[in-house]
A and B are shown apart, each in its own frame.
Chain A
C-alpha cells in the first residue's frame, strides 16, 4: 500500500526531471539556437559586446561559453530553486509572469472539464434510461453534431454573438481594466464575466462526447445481472440508480478523464489566444511570436507540471473510488 504511493510519488519527480531535460535539449534545437537571436537583439540595443555574454547568462541561467554538461547542470540547479530565467520580451522573471498566468488557465480548464463530466454524465444517464425514445435520439444527434465542431470555432462564433453583437460579455482579457486585482466582490464578478465564454466554448463539444460515452456505459451496466438481482432484492430505485448503475458506468470514464486533462491543458494554447485570456497558453504563443525562448520553455514546463500533478492526484484518488483496485497490488487478473 505505502509502497505504491512512494513509487507513484517518485515517478512524478522522475517525469518532471525528464521533461525539464527535454526542454533543455529543445531550446538547443530551436532555429538559430538560444543565443544567436538574443545576442543580435542585445547588440541592437547598444549593449557593449563584452557585456552581452553576461547578460545572456543572466537571462537564461546558462553561461553560453561553458561546456554542455556544465550548462545542463546550471540549468537544472536553477530550476530546482524555482528560477526559470528572465523573459526577454517582458523583461520580468519568467516565474513571476507564469505565477500570474497559471491560476487563470487552471481555473478555466478545471471548471470546464468538471462541467464536461457533469453535463455528460447527466445527459448520458438520462439517455440510457430512456433508451430509444425521441429524447435519446435528439440528444445523440446534438452530441454528434457538437463533437464535430472544433472548440475554437465555437469560441469564435460565441465571441461574435455574445460579445461583439449583443455586448453582454467582455471581448477580451481576464479582468476588466480598472478593477483592483485583489480579492473582493468586483474582482470576482469581473473575473467570472470574463471566463464565461472561454469556459462555455471549451465545454460544449466535449460534453457531447462524454454524454455518448456515458450512455454506452450505462446501457451496458443496466443489462448486467447484478442490477436485476438488486431489483429482486427489493432495493429502492434510487439506490440502484446511484450505487449500482451510476457508479459502474462512471468508473471507466474516470480513466478518460486523465487523457482529457492532457488534451485540454494543451488546447488552452488556442483557446486563450482567441479570447486574449492571459493564461499559460496565451503567454506560450506570445513568447513564440517574440522569440522569447526562456518564457516559452518555462510555460511549457509549467503546463507539463500541472498535467503531471493532475494525473497524479487522479491516480491516487482512483484507487479510493474503485473498490476493485487496491493500490499496491500489481498482479494481473484476467
Chain B
C-alpha cells in the first residue's frame, strides 16, 4: 500500500513537468512528419517547382522596382504607340500617352505583392483563429462563432468591398488587401472547424487536456500543426482572390488609386480604345499577361501542395447549416473570380 502511494506521489510530481516536454517533442515530431516531409515531397512535384519559380520571378521584378533599376513611368517619356519589341529601350512598347509599358508593369508589382500577401495573411489568420477555437471549444463558443461566419458568408463579397472602399478610400495596399478579403475567412473558417473536430479526438490532444494544458497552448501546439497543409493551400487561393478582385475593381475604376496597378493600366487601355486597334493591343495584353502569370504561379503552387496533403476529413456537422457539414478541398474556396 505504502509502495503504491509513493508511486502515485512520484507520478504526480513528474506530471507537472511532463506535459511540456511531451508536447514540445510532439510538436517537433509533428513538424518533421507534417511540414518538412510534405514540403520535400511537394518540391519533387514539377508544379510546385514551376509555381515557386514564377513567384520568385515576380519577387525579382518587385525588387527591380523597389531598387529603382527601371525608369519610373511618366507620360511622353517615349514615342507614342510603340509596338512590342519595336524599340529595345521600351521592350513592351508604349501607351497612347507615350508611357513606357514595362515601367508601368514593373512599378505596379511591389504594391500588388504587398496587397495579396496582406489579404491572404488576414484571411487565413482569422480563419485559423475562428476555426480552431470553434472546433476545439464546441458548445456555445462554437455556435456563436459559426452564426457570425454564416452571417458574413451571406454578404456577397465584391459589393461589400466596393461599399467599404468608397467609404474608407484606402490607398495603402496592405489595408486594401485586408478590405478585399474582409469576409473571405468565413467559408474557410467553417471548413477548418470541421477538420479540428476530427483532430481534437486524437489521443494526444486528449492527453494534453487531461494533464491540464491550457486551451491556447493545445491549439497552438497540437491542433494548428495538423492544419498547416490545408492552410498553406488556401493561403495561395486567398492570395489569388485578392489579386483578381483588386485588379477587377481597379479595372472598373471604383477603387481610388495613388500608385500604379495592372488594373489601372487595363482600365486606361480599355477606355483608350485599345480593344479596337492592333497598334494598341499590347497595351491591353501586357497587364493581362502579368495577371495571368502571377495567378498561374499561385495556382501551380497551390495544386502542388494540394496533391501532397489533401486531408479530406469528413465529419458530420454540429452546426445549423447541414450543407457545409462535409468537408472537402472546398471547391468554393478555390473559386475562380
Residues of A with Cβ closer than 8 Å to B?
4, 7-8, 11, 15, 18-19, 22, 26, 29-31, 144-153, 156, 159-160, 164, 205-206, 208-210, 212-213, 216-217, 220, 251-260, 262-267, 269-270, 273, 281, 284-285, 288, 296, 299-300, 303-304, 307-308, 311, 314-315, 318-319, 322, 324-325, 327, 330-334
Contact = CB atoms under 8 A, between A and B. Distances in A.
Interface residues of B, number: 68
Nearest to A202: B336
B254 interface: yes
A149 B275 CA distance: 18
B332 A19 contact: no
Question: Which 4 A-B pairs rank lowest in CB-CB distance, beginning with the nearest?
Answer: A259-B332, A256-B331, A252-B328, A266-B158
Contacts of A144: 296, 299-300, 303
A220 to B, nearest CB: 7
Contacts of B288: 153
A150 B295 contact: yes
Contacts, number: 215
A153 B187 CA distance: 26
A156 to B, nearest CB: 7
A260 B335 contact: yes
A160 B254 CA distance: 23
A255 B306 CA distance: 18
Contacts of B22: none
Interface string B124-152: 00000000000000100000000000110
A259 B335 contact: yes
B154, B298, B315, B332 pick with most chain A CB within 10 angstroms = B154
Interface in B323-337: 323-337
Contact of B326 (A164, A284, A314, A322): A322
Interface stretch (B84-92, B210-218, B241-249): B241-249
A30 B323 contact: no
25 contacts: A26-B163, A30-B166, A31-B167, A145-B296, A146-B336, A148-B296, A212-B303, A212-B334, A213-B329, A216-B329, A252-B312, A262-B154, A263-B157, A266-B158, A266-B160, A270-B158, A299-B159, A311-B153, A311-B154, A315-B321, A325-B322, A327-B322, A330-B318, A332-B317, A332-B318
Interface in B251-275: 251-252, 254, 270, 275
B201 interface: yes
Contacts of A256: 328, 330-335
Contacts of B315: 332-334
A284 B162 contact: yes
B333 A259 contact: yes
A34 to B, nearest CB: 12
Scoring A210, A267, A300, A333 by chain B CB atoms within 10 A of each residue's CB, the highest score goes to A267
A108 B158 CA distance: 17
Given A26-B163, A269-B162, A270-B248, A257 B155 contact: no
A213 B159 CA distance: 27
B187 A254 contact: no
Contact of B251 (A19, A159, A270): A270
Interface of B: 138, 150-151, 153-160, 162-163, 166-167, 169, 187, 197-198, 201, 244, 247-249, 251-252, 254, 270, 275-276, 284, 288, 291-293, 295-296, 298-300, 303, 306, 310, 312, 314-337
Given A213-B331, A217-B328, A322-B326, A288 B156 contact: no
B282 to A, nearest CB: 14
Contact of A266 (B156, B292, B320): B156
A204 B291 CA distance: 17
Contact of A149 (B270, B292, B331): B292
B44 to A, nearest CB: 17
A255 B154 contact: no
A319 B158 contact: no
Nearest to A297: B163
Contacts of A296: 163
A322 B321 CA distance: 13
Contact of A159 (B275, B320, B323): B275
Contacts of A147: 295, 299, 336
B337 A263 contact: yes
A11 B187 CA distance: 17
Contact of B154 (A153, A308, A324, A330): A308
